[in-house]
Amino acid sequence: MSERLVSLGKREGEVRPRPAPAPGAPRVYVETYGCQMNVADSDLLGGVLADAGYATASRADDADVIVINTCAVREKAEERVIARAGELASLKRKKPGTVLAIVGCMAEHLKEGLADRAPTVDVIAGPDSYRRMPELLAAARAHRRGDAPPLIDVKLDKAETYEGLSNAAGLEGGDPVSGFVTIQRGCDKFCTFCVVPFTRGRERGTSPREVLRQVRELVAAGLREVTLLGQTVNSYRWPAEDGEVVTFAELLRAVARVDGIERIRFTSPYPVDFTDDVIAAIAEEPKICKYVHLPVQSGSDVVLERMRRGYTVDDFRGIVARLRHAMPHIALSTDILSGFSGETEADHQATLALMREIRFDSAFMFAYSERDLTFAAKKLPDDVDEPTKKRRLTEIVQLQEIISAEVFAAHVGRPERVLVHGPSKRDATQLMGRTDGFKTVILPSGVGAVGELVDVTIARATMATLFA
């Protein structure tokens, strides 16, 4: 079926002409918090507003409209957004008429309550409202006066996948090398700690034709790498017109055959949906990066069951073994959540033991923060005290830093093919790129250019960076 998929969308792959903003066009500044899905949504929103005639501002101070795209997965992310909205209140006082919009998962999570915590906000819009943002912002700019309540649009839409829209990645000053294509929205897993099904709705996929159209559009804009996004991306299934089902493995293979794309990534997969055909596609397709982000969350079966993750530690070991058997040098990262309801010291030690055993290249590590709406908030006590959470998280981070340093050091002396992404943040005379295994590499002056694939040898390493 993947061969048939390759032909889909070929005539839809060109970049649609986007006229330059008219003189005096309103300027919009988009600020993003959260995961890659949020970054992709900001690119999408940037494209929607550009099509509506908005110009792009590089700073909030220069904007007529400020949009904060938010995350609700952890409490700290929400606190940062509330603090940022407070900072922008002074800017609004200096520039009356400036419109502030808070959009995304946090807007969906807090809804009307967000206006109480951020009284200067003019528009509150959820993740399924981006098509309507030009109308919402126009209404706010025309009618917002004094203490008028904000415009609120947070209705979830079980059919919305934003099909047919073009994003701003690579087109309006975004990343010139790498872009995102969202192939799946929402989630049906309902892990007890996770608020995503309540802020992004139930799982629904984007048609293969639309996915390939977007990939070709990014290629036509000069991008070399694409990341396919979904909350549980490898559970993707699309009912085709002929009655067959397009699987994630087939979609991966079809994307790999798009002319001009050099690297394909995806995130975040769900462990129990890692089928043999997906592993085979990654192993057999040269353009699909040999890197997988595989969230484990805990090394304790008791905690995993309480989280309703749907797998045991042995199941997880088996998935890792299958991946490494097919690709011995595959890079693995993970998510670890410390201090979940009922977690004992033995559970914590089991997580540390699993980390030593698996030896992830890197990890995103967090202490549990209760999210209302979730099963855990309603039914499970948040009974691990904060000092214990902090101490356990510190131990997890320290162990991962040791493992990462050893994993990265093992790359010294190895040849690596690096896709150059842009200037190094610390030294503009050097370039930064990434390996197939998603490791950052700093290139010396004169080696490569943005968008090129260059072959280098790794000279030294830290626990997070390689140096060619």
At residue 18 the predicted structure's pLDDT band, cuts being 50, 70 and 90, is low
User: What pLDDT is attached to residue 145?
Assistant: 58
* pLDDT single digits (tens) 197-228: 999 999 999 999 999 999 999 999 899 999 99
24-153 against 415-467: fold identical: no
Please return the burial class of 378, using the count of CB atoms within 10 Å of its CB with bins 0-12, 13-18 and 19+.
exposed
Summarize the confidence of residues 332-356 as an average pLDDT.
Answer: 98
Mean pLDDT of the chain: 91
Sign of the alpha-carbon dihedral angle for 201, 205, 210, 215 = positive
For residues 441 and 420, give the distance between their C-alpha atoms in angstroms, rounded to a whole number. 9
Q: Which residues lie below 8 Å from residue 394, measured CB to CB, with a gap of 6+? A: none
Summarize the confidence of residues 323-329 as an average pLDDT.
Answer: 98
Sign of the alpha-carbon dihedral angle for 379, 349, 267, 180 = positive
For residues 155 and 139, give the distance between their C-alpha atoms in angstroms, rounded to a whole number. 18
**Does residue 41 contact residue 131 with C-beta atoms inside 8 Å?**
no
Q: Which residues pair with 362 in a beta bridge?
A: 333
User: What pLDDT is attached to residue 4?
Assistant: 58
At residue 453 the predicted structure's pLDDT band, cuts being 50, 70 and 90, is very high
Question: Looking at the predicted structure, is the pLDDT value of residue 67 above 80?
Answer: yes
Question: Looking at the predicted structure, is the pLDDT value of residue 12 above 70?
Answer: no
**Does residue 269 contact residue 309 with C-beta atoms inside 8 Å?**
no
Q: Which residues pair with 367 in a beta bridge?
A: 338
User: What pLDDT is attached to residue 13?
Assistant: 44
**Does pTM top 0.85 for this prediction?**
yes
Question: Looking at the predicted structure, is the pLDDT value of residue 75 above 80?
Answer: no
User: What pLDDT is attached to residue 5?
Assistant: 61
**Beta strands across the sheet bearing 415-423:** 453-457, 415-423, 431-435, 440-443, 465-467, 460-461
* pLDDT single digits (tens) 104-163: 999 998 988 998 899 999 999 999 999 999 999 999 988 765 567 899 999 998 888 889
Question: Looking at the predicted structure, is the pLDDT value of residue 338 above 60?
Answer: yes
Proportion of the chain above pLDDT 90, given as a percent = 75
Summarize the confidence of residues 381-396 as an average pLDDT.
Answer: 98
Question: Looking at the predicted structure, is the pLDDT value of residue 3 above 70?
Answer: no
User: What pLDDT is attached to residue 71?
Assistant: 86
Q: What are the structural domain ranges in the chain?
A: 24-153, 415-467
Question: Looking at the predicted structure, is the pLDDT value of residue 409 above 60?
Answer: yes
- Indicate the CATH number of 415-467 among 1.10.10, 2.30.30, 1.20.120, 2.40.50: 2.40.50
Question: Looking at the predicted structure, is the pLDDT value of residue 171 above 50?
Answer: no
Distance of CA 109 to the CA centre of its chain: 18
Summarize the confidence of residues 440-446 as an average pLDDT.
Answer: 93
* pLDDT single digits (tens) 245-293: 999 999 999 999 999 999 999 999 999 999 999 999 999 999 999 999 9
Pairing state between β 123-125 and 331-338: unpaired
Per CATH, is 24-153 categorized as 3.40.50.2020?
no
The dihedral region occupied by 238, where left means phi > 0, alpha psi between -120 and 50, and beta the remainder, is: beta
